[in-house]
Structure 1
Amino acid sequence: MAVLKVKFTKTRRDKLAQILWILNWISVVTGIILFSLGLFLKVELKKREELMAEKDIQYVPNMLIAVGLIACAINFLGGKICYDCVDSTKFLRWKLIMLPYIVCTFFFTLCVLVGALMCYSMHWELEEALDLGLMQAMRFYKDTDMPGRCFLKHTVDTLQIQFQCCGNSGYKDWFQIQWISNRYLDMSKKEVVDRLRSNVEGKYLMDGVPFSCCNINSPRPCIQQQITNNSAHFNYEHQTEDQNLWMKGCRQALLEYYTHIIQSIGLTVLITWLFELSVLTGVRYLQTSLENVLRQGDPDSESDGWLLENSLMETARTNLSIIKSLGKSNQINTANNGDPNIDVPSTSKAHYGPDNVPPKEKMETS
């Protein structure tokens, strides 16, 4: 029994073909949108790749770019097919192509759905990449003279000012690393030497942060050094001075920024998937209804269209039997060394006779 069978008159078939022609061209535009969104996300990730660990998170924008290009090609072809199908006689040119086209489009719509799900699942990998990348960038903050690291100070400072954040998880992350280069430390001072010797790794650690962590909305001048020492500053209590420094960590700030972008792209891709699925459904109805018209021989007659000619279970059994038969034929060809003209005997030589010689060979020997 056919699944979701619908009866079509000639007028309804022609209108369906015209509507699908328009929808396919709209789908070409959505393909361009997907391509643009993938390119935008790729650029946004590239802009701050120095602040991310070397993890493969570019697969999401790469997939969106590929899906967008494929969408343009598939829907351009679909528009041409639907335009010709307005005339049922022109359908004969596309009759053999339409079923493979529908199958390819079905798998393409699955790829669009996978792309939408990948956008939402990217959150955890992005968070891990930011966590490791920001800590590494903070460690190299002081290395302004080393090739490959000399711009990290500018990058981190710009990030903290632009996103109004400080450190990885918070401003106290700066207390655990040496962010001041040794070339700017006065080794003649006993305080500096004692601080270096007191650390096991010989690092100059202090309760201070870079200037870019200062909150521009603070009513008092920014306190960057001896942040936890209340007696070092007049009328100061570091636990209540929330406006002195940016409280939010840069990992959270960047994650919120990218999450907003990714969720917006994911929603757009999901809507595109629903649109592509509706177009695919319409093309399937058009194909089956036109094939039934050809069987009847009257182009003006009514015809039935459906999604599946048989039920879902019957279709699955049929496809499974086809796959099994293909597997068996492949085994026979393998046994024949790829030559289908060679017959494989069903019995072994041991069944020919006591001498294990075929009758024909035995007669020649005698």
Structure 2
Amino acid sequence: MAPVLPLVLPLRPRIRLAQGLWLLSWILVLAGGLILLCSGHLLVQLLHLRTFLAPSCPFTALPQVALAAGAVALGTGLVGAGASRASLDAAQYPPWRRVLGPMLAAGTAGGGGLLVLALGLALALPGSLDTGLEEGLGAAMAHYKDTEVPGHCHAKRLLDELQLRHHCCGRHGYKDWFGVQWVSSRYLDPNDQDVVDFSPRPLSPDTLTPCPSLCSRIQSNVEGLYLIDGVPFSCCSPHSPRPCLQNQLSDPHAHPLFDPRQPNLNLWAQGCHGVLLGHLQGLASTLGSMLAVTFLLQTLVLLGLRYLQTALEGLGGVIDGEGEAQGYLFPGGLRDMLKTAWLQGEVAQRPAPGEAPPEEAPAKEDLPEA
């Protein structure tokens, strides 16, 4: 059966192919190292933000698969650099000649499969972040007040650090805090009648009508929750030119110099959902671009090594042998290639006839003296 995609390689093109593969392999090593760094950074970010992601969000699988793909790409680059350099020396190439076929098969199946899987995850999984962050941030805000509840006692600190670090407030904006009780029950007096049963009519943040007394409380004692029209201190911007307005944000008369119809310059304008979504999707997009470039580099390295290997096999492993050599991808099909690689591995494990150690003569037994 005729070889698949044959290519005639004279002496000079063979040498240039080996030299180009050496350089391309080191570029692949660099790309694999960058994937390890980027996927490790994304994994660390997800570990820090795991409180604000729903447990069912599958996005965490992306950096784990990318780590494995980056490690395999780095290993493939090192193997390609070593094999291409050894091919230029007839004395160094024989050890590579024995194992290069199985290495190419393993790199194509394992490394290529991992890169394709990681690239597919980088394209598909960022869409799941929207729902995961929506559920995770909602749960974190609901547990903001539970500073003494086991399992949720760190929710307040983590959410405050998130809002301060990423310059965001609430899930989609500061008004989200109006619908959850974020004041801990330990600071509320259960004997206070205002806390127990005060329930004024809901106030719109854009209303300009005078509100009744105690209007800082927009819907107290709704389903057992103490709701106020205020936000935690971590929503305050330190760049504000005036003291932060945290309470009574729905009362147009509580702050004479504050117009509720204008943007609030004291509070972070963006919600944490949009900030985290853009941040994580940006990291996933960068990682996906690097995975695509690495996949292209690894494909070129594996193809070049295959052509170099088959060309040198026709010359007995000597790159500067006389005459033209023919390189190809498959000798007659994928099944024949796998069978040839398996047979080459078995032959490589057997000692050569000239290298067989001589059999030792049996030891002579000492005869008893007469």
TM-score category of the 2 structures, normalised to the smaller one: 0.7 to 0.9
Whole-Å Cα distance in 1 between the matches of residues 10 and 91 of structure 2? 16
The residue number in structure 2 matching 1:35 is: 36
The residue number in structure 2 matching 1:113 is: 116
Question: What do residues 137-175 of structure 1 show as CA deviations (whole Å, max 9, x unaligned)?
Answer: 111111122233222212111211221111112112111
Asked if the contact 2:29–2:78 (Cα under 8 Å) also holds between the matched residues in 1, the reply is yes
Asked if the contact 1:195–1:205 (Cα under 8 Å) also holds between the matched residues in 2, the reply is no
Whole-Å Cα distance in 1 between the matches of residues 123 and 238 of structure 2? 34
Select which of 184, 188, 210 maps to 2:187: 184
Whole-Å Cα distance in 1 between the matches of residues 115 and 46 of structure 2? 21
Whole-Å Cα distance in 2 between the matches of residues 90 and 257 of structure 1? 49
The residue number in structure 2 matching 1:47 is: 48
Select which of 188, 191, 210 maps to 2:232: 210
1:123 aligns with 2:126: yes
Asked if the contact 2:134–2:171 (Cα under 8 Å) also holds between the matched residues in 1, the reply is yes
Structure number with higher helix proportion: 1
The residue number in structure 2 matching 1:361 is: none
How do residues 94-113 of structure 1 correspond to structure 2 at under 5 angstroms? 94-95=96-97, 97-107=99-109, 108-113=111-116
Whole-Å Cα distance in 2 between the matches of residues 63 and 25 of structure 1? 22
How do residues 15-94 of structure 1 correspond to structure 2 at under 5 angstroms? 15-55=16-56, 56-87=58-89, 93-94=95-96
| Change in 2 beyond 3 A, CA 1:90/1:302 | farther
How do residues 217-366 of structure 1 correspond to structure 2 at under 5 angstroms? 217-294=239-316, 299-309=321-331, 315=333
TM-score between the two structures when normalised by the length of structure 1: 0.76
The residue number in structure 2 matching 1:161 is: 164
Which amino acid is the alignment partner of residue 18 of structure 2?
A
Whole-Å Cα distance in 2 between the matches of residues 37 and 291 of structure 1? 39
Q: How far did 1:85 drift?
A: 2.2
Question: What do residues 228-247 of structure 1 show as CA deviations (whole Å, max 9, x unaligned)?
Answer: 22133314331223323222
The residue number in structure 1 matching 2:367 is: none
Question: What do residues 60-118 of structure 1 show as CA deviations (whole Å, max 9, x unaligned)?
Answer: 11112222222333333333332332246765554454333222222213422332332
Asked if the contact 2:68–2:114 (Cα under 8 Å) also holds between the matched residues in 1, the reply is no
| Change in 2 beyond 3 A, CA 1:257/1:198 | closer
The residue number in structure 2 matching 1:7 is: 8
Q: Deviation above 6 Å: which 4+ runs of structure 1? A: none
Asked if the contact 2:31–2:290 (Cα under 8 Å) also holds between the matched residues in 1, the reply is no
> What fraction of aligned residue pairs are identical, expressed as a percent?
35
| Change in 2 beyond 3 A, CA 1:293/1:250 | same
Asked if the contact 1:32–1:69 (Cα under 8 Å) also holds between the matched residues in 2, the reply is yes
How many residues of Structure 1 are paired with residues of Structure 2 in the alignment?
316
Stretches of structure 2 that go unaligned for 5 or more consecutive residues are 200-218, 340-370
Question: What do residues 184-234 of structure 1 show as CA deviations (whole Å, max 9, x unaligned)?
Answer: 123343322223796452111122211211233444432222212213331
Asked if the contact 1:286–1:305 (Cα under 8 Å) also holds between the matched residues in 2, the reply is yes
Whole-Å Cα distance in 1 between the matches of residues 245 and 46 of structure 2? 33
Asked if the contact 2:196–2:221 (Cα under 8 Å) also holds between the matched residues in 1, the reply is no
Which amino acid is the alignment partner of residue 189 of structure 2?
D
What secondary structure, in the 3-state scheme, does the structure 2 residue paired with 1:230 have? coil
Whole-Å Cα distance in 1 between the matches of residues 38 and 257 of structure 2? 51
Whole-Å Cα distance in 1 between the matches of residues 179 and 125 of structure 2? 29
Q: How far did 1:286 drift?
A: 0.8
Q: How far did 1:267 drift?
A: 1.5
| Change in 2 beyond 3 A, CA 1:2/1:206 | same
Which amino acid is the alignment partner of residue 8 of structure 2?
K
Deviating more after overlay: 26-35 vs 136-145: 26-35
The residue number in structure 1 matching 2:150 is: 147
